[in-house]
Chain A
Amino acid sequence: MIVIDAAFVPRLAKKARLKLDRHANKYMIIYPERGLELNDAAAEIAKKCDGSRSVGAIADELAREHEGAPRDAVEHDVIAFVSMLRDKGLLELR
C-alpha cells in the first residue's frame, strides 16, 4: 500500500467525480454505487487533488489561505484525508 507523505502527489481516480451537491450545498465525491459527503475543509483539500501538486504544497496553500492555521496541523489533516481516499480506492495510482 502506497504511503502518503508530503511528497506524494494526489489525484482523484477517474471513477471519482467531485461535485457540488446543490441540494445540500455541500461537495460530494461520487463513485460507483457510493457517495461521500465532504465537510468544507475536506472539500477544499479534494479540489486540490488534481495531480498538479504534492501533499506538502497543498498544505502550504491551505495554511496561506487560512491565516492562523498551523502549517503542520494542516499537513496532518491533508495526509489523513488523502489516506482515506487511498483506502477507498479513490486515488489514481498510476
Chain B
Amino acid sequence: MTAAPTTTTRPYTLIAELTYRCPLRCPYCSNPIDYLAHKNELSTEDWCRVFGEAEELGVVQLHLTGGEPLARKDLEVLVARAREVGLYVNLVTSGIPLSRERLEGLARAGVDHVQVSIQSSRAALADEVAGYAGHAKKLDVMRWVKELDLPLTMNVVLHRANLDEIDELVALAEEVGADRLELANTQYLNWALSNRDVLLPTREQIERAAEKAAPHRDRLRGKMDVLFVKPDYFGTTPKACMDGWARRFLQIVPDGRVVPCHAATSITSLVFDDVRARSLKEIWETSPALLAYRGEEWMQEPCRSCDKRAIDFGGCRCQAFALTGDAAATDPACRLSPNRAAIDAAHAGADAGMGVRRYLYRGPAARATR
C-alpha cells in the first residue's frame, strides 16, 4: 500500500488514445488535424507501465480509445493489464473492424463496458457522415456486446444532419438493448471546427431535440441512461470543461504526450511531457503544460472575480485558444466574454451554410465530397 498522492488534486480517469489510426473519416473527429504527423505510437510495454502508474496516482476509470483502438493488435494484452491493476476498462470503439471472436476475446480479457459510436439511425446518412459503409456492421457489434452480457453505451455525436432523429436514435438504442445512450452534441474543436459551418445546427433544432430527449430520459430512468447536454454555443454559460484543466482527467495521446483533454495539443503555445521520458506522477504534479491552467491563478477578468469560477473553471481552454488566440481568455461561450462575438459569427457562418452538406472528411488528403 503506497501513500495517497500528496497533491490536492487526483486524476480519476485516464483517457488512453492508443492510436490515431481509424477506418472512419468523420468530419467531427476529435483527433488533431495533423494526426498523421504523430505515428510514433507507444509500445505495449509503455502502456502496461503507464496503466500501473495511473492506478498508483489514483485513477479508477480507463478509457481505451483512439482513433480506433481495435487497430492495436495488442489490445487484448492492454485490457488484461488494465484489469490486473484494478482499472474499470471502457472500450470506446467504432466497432470496425471487429469479429465476434475478437469481441469474445476482449470480454475474456476483462473489458467492463463497450461504447459504440453510431452516426445516424439511417444507414445511408450514417455511412455518408462516417465516410465509410459501416453502419450495418455497427448494429451487429452492438448486438454481440449485449449477447456477451457486457454493458453497452450507444454514442451519437449530434449535428445539423442528425439532430432531428432523437426519437429514432432512442428507439435504436432500446432495440439493441443499450444501457446508456449518449446524445453528445458536437464540440467545435479540431476537425469539427473545420466543418463548423456545415455541422452547426439551428437554435430551433437544439430546442426541439432537447424537448424530445427529456421524456425518453424520464421514461427510461433506471433502465437506460439517456444523456443529452445542450451545447455551449447555444447557452450563456460555458461548460465546466473536463471538470477543470488537469483536475480529474488525464489523457495520453498515441505518441505518449500527457494532455488534459483530447483537443489540448491544438494549443500551440504549450509543450507536453512524454511518458517515455518521465513518470506519470512526475508529469501530473509538475508538467508546466498541466500546471498552466490548473486552479485559478491563470485567470483573467471577467473570470478572475467571477463567482462561478469554481463551477465552470472559465470554460474550455482549447475553445478560448481556437476562437481568441489566447488560451487564458474567458471561453467565448460565456455571455460575459469580451469575445462573445466569435460565437455570434459562428452562427452567422452556419446560417450561410444551411442547405449545404459538403464535409471536409478527416483524412490524409482531406477532400470535400458531395
Contacts and interface: CB of A to CB of B under 8 A. Distances in A.
B249 to A, nearest CB: 11
A89 B225 contact: yes
A31 to B, nearest CB: 8
A14 to B, nearest CB: 7
Contact of B61 (A13, A35, A86, A91): A35
Contact of B179 (A24, A87, A89): A89
Contacts of A86: 222
Interface stretch (B4-12, B192-200, B230-238, B351-359): B4-12
B4 A23 contact: yes
Nearest to A25: B4
Contacts of A15: 112-113, 151, 179
A60 B88 CA distance: 33
Report the interface size class on chain A.
20 to 34
A31 B180 CA distance: 11
B346 interface: no
Contacts of B153: 32-33
A14 B60 contact: no
B131 interface: no
Interface string A20-31: 011110001011
B86 A19 contact: yes
B224 A14 contact: no
B282 interface: no
Contact of B222 (A31, A33, A89): A89
A88 to B, nearest CB: 8
Contacts of B221: 1, 87, 89
Contacts of B10: 23
A11 B1 CA distance: 30
A48 B221 CA distance: 23
Given A1-B222, A35-B60, A89-B221, 14 more contacts: A14-B149, A15-B113, A15-B179, A17-B88, A23-B4, A23-B10, A31-B151, A86-B222, A88-B222, A88-B225, A89-B223, A89-B224, A91-B222, A93-B223
Interface of B: 1, 4-5, 10, 12, 58, 60-61, 86, 88, 90, 112-113, 115, 149, 151, 153, 179-180, 221-225
Closest 5 CB pairs of A and B: A15-B151, A32-B113, A30-B88, A23-B58, A23-B4
